[in-house]
């Protein structure tokens, strides 16, 4: 199934570890909870930015930091939440979010897991890195969902960060 602008966002469940004051250190972690898009996206504007992997060079150095440094711009553009999505488990994603100083009490940015890249595969947005020992991953893409309708959906054509960058997504809001 492909996912196009104008489509309803498919019901799916991601998982993430929410902020908890008692587990703010990178080696401390709470329990993952489900994130049901069919409930969470109603009446909200949500940005999903997907990456091939937590702690990977491009994702960590170039792709996600601009999202974190421009949180106020996303809020000013009417975004209710940013989801950083990867196939990594929720514990790894949580540690990565903490390492990037992206896990905050308001949970505006969450680092969520797309287990086994199941959702990404379902919308033709996965990346097979089996030959590198990494298995099936989420590809690098961005989706903007407004009240459960897709209003932007682009996958990177190569290894650069362009159509899924914070700057590009901000320009589409």
User: Which active-site residues does the annotation give?
Assistant: 59
Beta strands in 4-155 (DSSP E): 13-16, 33-36, 45-50, 81-86, 109-113, 126-129, 135-138, 141-146, 149-155
Report the alpha-carbon angle 102-60-73, nearest 5: 50
Q: Which residue has the tokens 């080696």?
A: 27
Task: Please report which helix (H) or strand (E) contains residue 77, including its range.
Answer: none
């Amino acid at each position: 199934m492909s996912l196009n602008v104008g489509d309803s966002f498919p019901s799916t469940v991601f998982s993430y570890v929410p902020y908890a004051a008692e587990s703010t250190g990178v080696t401390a972690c709470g329990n993952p909870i489900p994130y049901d898009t069919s409930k969470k996206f109603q009446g909200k504007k949500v940005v999903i930015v997907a990456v091939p992997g937590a702690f990977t060079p491009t994702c960590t150095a170039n792709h996600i930091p601009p999202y974190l440094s421009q949180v106020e711009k996303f809020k000013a553009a009417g975004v209710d939440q940013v989801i950083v999505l990867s196939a990594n488990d929720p514990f790894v994603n949580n540690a990565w979010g903490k390492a990037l100083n992206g896990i905050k009490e308001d949970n505006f940015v969450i680092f969520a897991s797309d287990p086994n890249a199941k959702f990404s595969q379902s919308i033709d947005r996965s990346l097979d890195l089996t030959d590198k020992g990494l298995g099936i991953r989420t590809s690098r893409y961005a989706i903007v969902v407004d009240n459960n309708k897709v209003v932007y959906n682009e996958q990177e054509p190569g290894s650069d960060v362009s159509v899924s960058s914070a700057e590009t997504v901000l320009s589409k809001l």
